[in-house]
């Protein structure tokens, strides 16, 4: 039985590779992609999503549904220095996608699909959690009918990538992350920097991609991403943040999870977006999320390459 999922993205470079993984994975039934504002604008994220789907001739039957153009309360915080002006590292610039955008909005689409198949549909979020938060606010019952929610976000051991303590997705919309974490979703998993920082795509991995257009896309889209990582860490590689979230949905044995009580900071001068783990139970609250603490990174990269090489 294929696992049904809605993929919520802010298509930047790693979201794009995550989309490729989700579409090509035989284990998954991708019932829709919802787009939002994050790395880039909603419009750019939507355009990039369509271009990536066209790259692999993905079925036109996969709905692409636009969501929120801004965080719940804040102004957008784009990440062009990492993802490039276009959002996918300047790859596919000459591509004009004719792909139809499904009418309606992401929150309504998420609600409709979860409620029409109770207990069967999961949501994997690889951008800020704005669309999912809006779905929960509009129809709280989805909390009891969604099969599983996995989000790429947070940094449980407190080392951020956009501020000293906050990861980009929870920083970009901390109020949305707070709504999701406080909603009481029974099967909620955080795939944070603690594990995604180990999932490093290198030139060696890219050179094993057999399909020329896919190989060229990975090489071109990640070039600046890998260069930036080299300048910071001395390794020519880039973290597969979003693909790992999808990888965990495909095969949860890739990671070790710990049940944690976590809150997101939304009202501080220095720590907004920080995912705060109450390790000692000071708040007396039950665990609200399974946090990925360890990952078999090379086994994940092998899975990623194997799936991308499927015809």
At CA 220, angle to CA 215 and CA 11, rounded to 5? 95
Read off φ and ψ for residue 14, nearest 5 degrees: -75, -30
CB of 128 to ligand RIB, least distance (A): 7
Q: Which is nearer to ligand RIB, 39 or 290 (CB)?
A: 39
d(CA 157, CA 141) in angstroms, rounded, equals 32
Question: Residue 168: which of ligand RIB, Ca ion, none does it interact with, CB under 5 to 8 A by kind?
Answer: ligand RIB
Q: Which is nearer to ligand RIB, 37 or 55 (CB)?
A: 37
Q: Which is nearer to Ca ion, 127 or 160 (CB)?
A: 127
Residue 228, number of CB atoms within 10 A of its CB: 13
- Residue 151: strand pairing partners: 125, 190
15 binds Ca ion (CB under 5 A): yes
d(CA 88, CA 52) in angstroms, rounded, equals 9
CB of 251 to ligand RIB, least distance (A): 20
Q: Which residues bind ligand RIB (CB under 6 A)?
A: 10, 12, 14-15, 38-39, 126-127, 152, 161, 167-169, 241-242
d(CA 302, CA 299) in angstroms, rounded, equals 5
CB of 125 to ligand RIB, least distance (A): 9
With CB under 5 A as the contact rule, which of the stretches 106-114, 220-228, 241-249, 292-300 interacts with Ca ion? 241-249
Residue 10 known to be catalytic? yes
Identify the CA nearest to 144 among candidates 164, 114, 179, 116.
114
126 binds Ca ion (CB under 5 A): yes
d(CA 304, CA 200) in angstroms, rounded, equals 11
Q: Which is nearer to ligand RIB, 10 or 194 (CB)?
A: 10
Q: Which residues bind Ca ion (CB under 5 A)?
A: 10, 15, 126-127, 242
């Amino acid at each position: 039985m294929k696992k049904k999922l809605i993929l919520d993205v802010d298509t930047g470079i790693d979201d794009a590779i995550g989309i490729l993984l989700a579409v090509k994975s035989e284990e998954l039934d991708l019932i829709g992609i919802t787009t939002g504002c994050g790395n880039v604008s909603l419009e750019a994220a939507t355009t990039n999503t369509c271009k990536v789907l066209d790259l692999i001739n993905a079925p036109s039957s996969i709905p692409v549904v636009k969501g929120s153009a801004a965080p719940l309360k804040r102004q957008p915080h784009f990440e062009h220095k990492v993802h490039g002006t276009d959002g996918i590292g300047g790859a596919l610039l000459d591509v004009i996608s004719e792909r139809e955008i499904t009418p309606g909005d992401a929150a309504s689409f998420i609600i409709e699909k979860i409620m029409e198949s109770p207990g069967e549909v999961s949501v994997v979020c690889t951008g800020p959690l704005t669309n999912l938060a809006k779905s929960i606010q509009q129809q709280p019952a989805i909390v009891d009918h969604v099969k599983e929610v996995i989000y790429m976000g947070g940094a449980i051991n407190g080392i951020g990538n956009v501020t000293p303590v906050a990861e980009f997705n929870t920083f970009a919309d901390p109020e949305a992350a707070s709504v999701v974490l406080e909603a009481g979703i029974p099967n909620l998993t955080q795939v944070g920097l603690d594990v995604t920082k180990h999932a490093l795509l290198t030139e060696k991995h890219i050179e094993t991609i057999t399909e020329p257009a896919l190989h060229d896309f990975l090489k071109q889209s990640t070039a600046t991403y890998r260069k930036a990582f080299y300048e910071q860490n001395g390794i020519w590689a880039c973290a597969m943040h979003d693909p790992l979230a999808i990888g965990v949905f495909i095969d949860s044995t890739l990671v070790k999870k710990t049940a944690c009580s976590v809150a997101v900071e939304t009202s501080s001068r220095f720590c907004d977006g920080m995912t705060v783990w109450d390790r000692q139970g000071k708040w007396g609250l039950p665990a609200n999320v399974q946090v990925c603490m360890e990952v078999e990174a090379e086994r994940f990269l092998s899975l990623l390459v194997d799936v991308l090489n499927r015809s």
